[in-house]
Structure 1
Amino acid sequence: MSQPEGLIAGSAMPPFGDGPALSHFEFWPAWKFYAPVWLWIGCLMFRHRSIRAPLVANPGFPAGGLVGERKSELFARLSGPERRHLPDYVVVERLDAAFDVQWQSIEAAIETAGLEYPMVAKPDIGCRGAGVRPVRCPAELRQYAEDFPKGETFLVQRMIDVEGEAGVFYVREPGSKSGHIHSLTLKYFPHIVGDGRSTLRQLILADTRAGMVPQLYLGRFGNALDSIVPMGESRRLVFSGSHSKGAIFRNGNDYVTEAMRARFDAIADAIDGFHFGRFDVRFADFAAFQRGEDFAIIEYNGAGAEMTHIWDSRTTVLEAWSTLFRQFSMLFKVGAANRKRGARPEGWQSFFRQWKREKSLVDQYPVTG
């Protein structure tokens, strides 16, 4: 595809562009925004004569990656040379035992893996950035581990501390040699700049966008909200590249290149049973990323993935709904094709058990960074 003008060589991200601070539907209640989408899903169930087709969109993923999948299990499926794109990590089970003993084993596992601070801690089961936090010293990681639900697992991963982040929505139909990037979402992280007089709280509330949705930011800063931010000092308001946690999304579809698509073909080949999903990636140089080079996959998911460019504030609600209609049409088509190739979905009892567990855990995780 053609490349928009204005991209600076060596820059982490393309220019942000103009547009409204928020779209009028951007933070509607889920039931209101997704109601037409659910009606469309009902039509697709009737058309394909299947309710569970999405559960086999990615054979081998739990529920096709719709709910309840573990990041560690998905990461383990990425093999061969393309695994170089995945930052090193360790999996930690939060034991219901004396924490001092477990802390020693956590430190040993981190040392063995060659990880160094700063790192990222994230739940093994989770969605929309829930519980994802940067940990910049042993005290922060220890606090995260102590606060984590007992009996559950989380990942500690090498931090890719660069400004560039994007969501790559990729689909390849079963039997095809190549797929297509249907959505590229560019993610920007809001900052405030101190004036030497105002508190962090005041600067957030005065910001054109953050001041309209302060609940996304205020809760993560604690006592620091009432401290004066020094003149010229920049503070990043969110670490996680999640729209629901405060990152700002832009439609980057015009920046997709053939080299980028070919690289994600190779990555999809290296993931057993993958056909449909989104890769969240970080990079320091956007032009290199367009060449399919020098980027890290910080996370990927399956059937539950969304074309997140719809959350660009310049997108209309009709455009967003049309995009989601197309997304779910592809999901059912891929699932139906896999079903014809012999894939069998798991039962409803297992599906709802995973959904309930994920929903319960999200509410128990430490505050997102």
Structure 2
Amino acid sequence: MHRVVSRVKSLWYKITHWEFWPFAVLYFPINFYYPWLAFKCRSLFFFTAANPSIDFGGMLGESKSAIFELIPRKYLPDYQLIAPGDDVTAKDFAKQIGYPLIAKPDIGERGRLVEKIINEQALEKYLVKCPVPFLMQKFIPHPLELGVFFVKNPHEREGRITSIVEKDFLSVIGNGQDTIRQLLHNDPRARLQINFSHQRFQDILEEIPGKSEKITVEGIGNHCRGTTFLNANSRISEQLNRTFNTIAGDIQDFHFGRFDLRCTSWSDLEQGKNIMILELNGAGAEPGHIYQPGFSLWQGYQSIFWHLSTLAKISKANHEQGVPYWTFAQGWKKMKMIRAYNRIIESAL
């Protein structure tokens, strides 16, 4: 009976908090707006012109390592692309950068198969599990993890930041009595997003944190992995805009997307110091601040629609300057490849 009640509570929490709605449900209205944008641009795949140097404009199926090649090395953690099952290269690189490290598919989204690898045994398990080429990245312990959305129309001299999301990792506060498992079960967010049977949690779930002790349970900054997204738009400033114009200006033909990064402090971020870019997402990026708990659905749609409209304007402006849109045949072939690839990823989950 207790389990039934718990499931009902979780379902009700999910229904009444739109940030947890399935992607297809939340984005259903886009099915009506997107055709209008495509009509205005005269192309179903207009977004491919937004970031000409990124495959498919960065909408889906782009290679993270290929995007890294566009970014100045000073902003990147040490990384290596690993072929499936290549344990020799993987272990050699792990010795170079040390543990813990981050492993994630070179092509992937929504945190699938992203793991924090703590030792060689965990790396061996990941090598067996991951069926696709993957990136190994040096773990960056900087305390702030952010998603900074930047847009720049090619007709304008400077771009601007349109969204900042601050990521608060899933954690528990101990009471000196309950296990981490019990504390998580009392958290509606954790009940919705954590797979309690996953191997990566087995070593800590039965621990009993001390009173007022904070334990980070999931250190991967993805909403699907329990991270709370906080609206940090109040941090946008002229200095921060100048900093990201400098960063984006060093990336060939980049006009629209979100920098997922870690930094040491807000002050350093403004000054462009101690910044490590973990990923750069293109046309398919979301303005993550909308997932702030309590953010209204109407405000969320306003931001989504505005960013889509801006994506179309940038794509059209680039097209007018000679950047071709992908043809329907090219785009359809890419979509089929992405679906086939995602089936491979899902088979390993």
Report the TM-score when normalising by structure 1. Answer: 0.83
Is 1:51 aligned to residue 34 of structure 2? no
Change over 3 Å in CA distance of 1:137–1:311 after alignment to 2:
same
Contact 1:133–1:239 (CA<8 Å) still a contact in 2? no
Structure 1: tracts of 5 or more residues without a match = 1-20, 96-101
Contact 1:199–1:228 (CA<8 Å) still a contact in 2? yes
Structure 2: tracts of 5 or more residues without a match = 1-12
- 1:234 equivalent in structure 2: 214
CA deviation map 1:229-284 (0-9, x unaligned): 24244321222111122110111111012222222212212222211110001122
- 1:66 equivalent in structure 2: 59
Please tell me the residue identity of whatever aligns with 1:144: Y
- Partner residue of 1:308 out of 281, 288, 313: 288
- Partner residue of 2:321 out of 341, 350, 357: 341
Contact 1:148–1:365 (CA<8 Å) still a contact in 2? yes
Residues of 2 paired with 1:134 and 1:243: CA distance? 16
Contact 1:67–1:358 (CA<8 Å) still a contact in 2? no
- Partner residue of 1:171 out of 143, 151, 154: 151
CA deviation map 1:323-368 (0-9, x unaligned): 11101001111111111111123312332133213422431455xx
CA deviation map 1:22-76 (0-9, x unaligned): 8621112223211112211122122333222111111031111111101000001
Equivalent pairs: percent with the same residue? 31
CA deviation map 1:99-131 (0-9, x unaligned): xxx4233223444xx311111111100111211
Residues of 1 paired with 2:206 and 2:76: CA distance? 37
Contact 1:37–1:321 (CA<8 Å) still a contact in 2? no
**Partner of 2:338: helix, strand, or coil?**
helix
- 2:82 equivalent in structure 1: 92
Please tell me the residue identity of whatever aligns with 2:91: E
Residues of 2 paired with 1:225 and 1:118: CA distance? 16
After TM superposition, give the deviation of residue 160 of structure 1 in Å.
0.6
- Partner residue of 2:233 out of 228, 253, 257: 253
Residues of 1 paired with 2:305 and 2:71: CA distance? 29
After TM superposition, give the deviation of residue 293 of structure 1 in Å.
2.0
After TM superposition, give the deviation of residue 145 of structure 1 in Å.
1.2
- 1:106 equivalent in structure 2: 90
CA deviation map 1:284-335 (0-9, x unaligned): 2222213332221111111110111110112111111111110100111111
- 1:115 equivalent in structure 2: 97
Change over 3 Å in CA distance of 1:219–1:334 after alignment to 2:
farther
Residues of 2 paired with 1:290 and 1:364: CA distance? 42
Contact 1:169–1:307 (CA<8 Å) still a contact in 2? yes
Residues of 1 paired with 2:18 and 2:224: CA distance? 13
Change over 3 Å in CA distance of 1:217–1:255 after alignment to 2:
farther
- 1:318 equivalent in structure 2: 298
Report the TM-score when normalising by structure 2. Answer: 0.88
- Partner residue of 2:126 out of 144, 156, 161: 144
CA deviation map 1:77-108 (0-9, x unaligned): 113xxx3111111110014xxxxxx4233223
Please tell me the residue identity of whatever aligns with 2:88: Q
Please tell me the residue identity of whatever aligns with 1:313: P
**Partner of 2:286: helix, strand, or coil?**
coil
- 1:354 equivalent in structure 2: 337
Is 1:271 aligned to residue 251 of structure 2? yes
CA deviation map 1:148-204 (0-9, x unaligned): 10xx21111111123311100101112433111010111111211333432222110
Residues of 1 paired with 2:120 and 2:340: CA distance? 29
- 1:132 equivalent in structure 2: 114
- 1:285 equivalent in structure 2: 265
